[in-house]
Amino acid sequence: MGKEIDLNCDMGESFGIYKIGNDEEMMKHVTSISVGCGFHGGDPHVMRKTVALAKNYGVAVGAHPGFPDMIGFGRRKLEIDRQEATDYILYQVGALKAFCEAYRIELQHVKPHGQFYQMMWRSEDLTQGVLEAIRLIKPEPVFFALYGTLPYQMAEEMGIHVIGELYADLDYLPDGTTTIKKVHGDTEITATTKKVVKMVLEGKVETKDGREIEVRGSSICFHGDNPQSPAIIQTVKKTLAENGIRITPIGRQLKG
């Protein structure tokens, strides 16, 4: 069997009259989505519309819970304790899960957003709180995380099904983590495509300072708030196919 990869996109992050991203266009090209749950982006109406759109396109749905920081789009630091982390995850995922159940869609995964996620890379306490919340959700969703990071390792130790995620449009750092962008600027499509293919085929990526590190993943993330994402993902999909890589949903990969 050849190499398989899932394509996912963070979306459903519009709020009220404010539109963020091109959700429907991206939905045409992905196999999984991570939906904003109302704290950093998204609202009840956007969540419902996004889940309905996913059902229409046959795309798997996951939760993208963040800090309660709408004005900063969840990209600012917020000091919270372990119990607060658990509560934030249960509250947000529970809301999205209700919409999934209304549309008879299974909640596939949980992937924390922005600064919430990045702070987990340095905090066992915060990570423990998030993973404890995931254990309480039934059926237990898959956890998306960067390979080799603290959340990935702790999820494995706890027996939580963790999926390694690769980032198409973010720069990697030597420790295997990624940079955070408050606003997505221009992304060079050819270079991004080469980077993705190398990560998938060779398990390697060049870091921001020119080093080469090992990466592993079964899903590639594209950001819905990046204006260039539709063009990037179409080029990436075409190039992956030309290299014999099949685009396969996470659920199908897990079933073997």
Chain mean pLDDT for the chain: 93
- Per-residue model confidence as pLDDT tens digits over 117-129: 999 999 999 999 9
User: 182-213: b or e for each residue (b if 16 or more CB lie within 10 Å)?
Assistant: eeeeebebeebbebbbebbeeeebbbeeeeee
What gap in Å lies between CA 163 and CA 44, rounded to an integer?
Answer: 27
pLDDT at residue 105 tops 70: yes
Strand partners, 221: 8, 167
Residue range 219-236, pLDDT digits in tens: 999 987 778 888 889 999
Q: What is the model's pLDDT at position 227? A: 80
Q: pLDDT (tens digit, 9 = 90+) per residue, 181-204? A: 655 556 788 889 999 999 999 999
Tell me the two tokens of residue 170: 């973010």
pLDDT at 202: 94
Chain segment 139-176, per-residue pLDDT in tens: 999 999 999 999 999 999 999 999 999 999 889 999 99
- Sorted by where each starts, the structural domains of the chain and their CATH numbers stand as 4-255 (3.20.20.370)
Residue pair 223/182 in contact (Cβ under 8 Å)? The answer is no
Mean pLDDT to the nearest integer, 64-93: 97
Q: Is the dihedral of CA 186, 188, 193, 199 positive or negative?
A: negative
- pLDDT confidence of residue 1: 41
Q: pTM score, two decimals?
A: 0.93
Q: What is the pLDDT of residues 206-222, one digit of tens each?
A: 998 899 999 999 999 99
